[in-house]
Structure 1
């Protein structure tokens, strides 16, 4: 408390020392408080910072008594903000099914796998914000805390950008986020149990390993290999590399295996199977098989019964057909994809020739209208499109002619495929080698079927 005999000045400071107040108390006299009086009172209480002299002047001229008024304010410290990692993928994946346009729910498309491409940015750093110091009304410095910089959660198959501010994938694969400490990209996806409603369909750019079964109606697509430890039912498996079935496949007439490399399975039943290279199994039953190189049935059974098999070079099996004369259609000597490409090219050629005739008819009609001056803007646009179509189709037809010629030459080449039965080949088996056909009408044992000119011969097993 400071002041004259009849006037007192009370200085109070807030607990955090960020504000100082003055309260004036008037005595019996008529004395007025001055600005300097208030400054001296503040100095006695060590208030030296943030004093608002304009307020002091105002209250000296027009004093208000018995009420505190703020005359000094300090500066509170500003604490910084920690840096953050901003993720550019969903870090909280849940098994939410896909809702179709008609409102139905597709429980087989759960979108559990998040695929990323090589070079894709996975996360970026939000910089830390620095703090700033403050000051109390008594001149004491208040330290502001700086924000801490964040650290990029670098895991496997990811790299830090040159400026150190982002993380990107170094390969195509599945991105995984582990406890906010690691972001990794994996080229192999593992399903710990069955492929069913809990996982949905699998579509992965790398390789896939399935520890359980693949249930009917589901699909697995992989850019690399697919390995299944359990049984595959009426499902679809497509692999850019190899397909390995530790047990086998009971396709129920709707199962599909398509591999860009080899297929290895213990057994294959009632399936559509296609491999660009080799197929190896203990038994293939009542299935449609396409194989670019060799189909080999080994092991205890070595059984090939029913269905059709189109194989590029060789079929090897212990038993082909059955004693019940089960129809079994075998074709070797020409890569089945060449026949399919030839058929596709011929169909496209026929369609293109038909379309170019229609375009020529339209052009002739529109040219007549143009000569008569009756060509509307709409018909002029149709004429332009028709001319473009004719030019494109003419070019495409020339390409198809060359492709068909090349394919025909491949088809005319003598097929050097062989079929080797290390035990029995039963009646009911139809054999096509190149362009030659043979129907097996009696039991054949320990032999090799091969082409000799225009005929198919039965030779020794090591032929």
Structure 2
């Protein structure tokens, strides 16, 4: 603080040193203030950069007291921007079929396969932007953070250009971007007719297109997508990407579909199907379903009846169950794989508890025989083994109990799924949301089932 008799100049600097303020105080004599005095006061506080001459001159000409004025302002640093990858193909493909006016689903307009040519640029690098240094009112340089360069997501059948800026396809085929970390190109394999004795089982690194049917007993495996124009019988289809059945699947109790992405079909009967993401069909009947995200049954039927369904987030259907009270088991709100691990761990824990109980009973009987001096060498060996078994199981069961508790906690946290019926839910349907359960005992119409605390509630359809 610099004083001029009864006039005082107070200089304050902001904590980040990006602004300096001057406050004038007058004790009553109204002595004139000079510009040099204000500059001197600033200099005494080492304020040397960004000084606002016009503000200082204003204070000299028209002094204003007891009010802070910003008389110096530094420059804040500007952090740079990270580099980016620009994609020259659609990375967010809409996998939902078109619903036509008559209620049918148009499976011809999926546009899931994006074809590229050899030498085609798939993505390019946008360089990072360097940061701009700042400076405080005291003249101190403030360093800025520079942007980091992006990395090209190199997968299979692609190469990086000589200048290192582009990712280029090395073969013609289908571009895939499933795991958000790598871009790959898979060439398509087409089966012009049925998968039968003339073709044998089909296994291919890329996508497979089957123009005919897939007959019972055969298998199709693909690293990319599988698209079938005909009917799938009791066959097995596994795909790293999506499975698209333009007609449907009559599994006869032995058909299996496993997809790393989505499954889309007109109908699915008596089959086991599993998709990491979504499943969409007009009808799923008497099948075992595992779906990581959404099971949606639309079109004219929109039917889900019989079997078991384990779905991560939501089930949407017109009709769930049947008026004949067909047993239909639906679980939502948790990752099916976590629920499966929880179920297996609980079964293992119960089995261990039973084995420990049996070991205890054997040990008790054999100890009594030992006390009576009637323990034969064979019985002694059984006693030793029983004690070892009990010790081992007692340790092991603690690990399993911890696993059960951890999985149960995860199921409790995740259990917020929903079941939405656009028409009816019939008796015979068992609903599990997280760890909560409900049996449908009377027809429900136009509703959503959701979890509320420890209960399953029935709410409006738009809940």
- The TM-score, its normalising length taken from structure 2, stands at 0.49
Larger Rg: 1
- The TM-score, its normalising length taken from structure 1, stands at 0.49
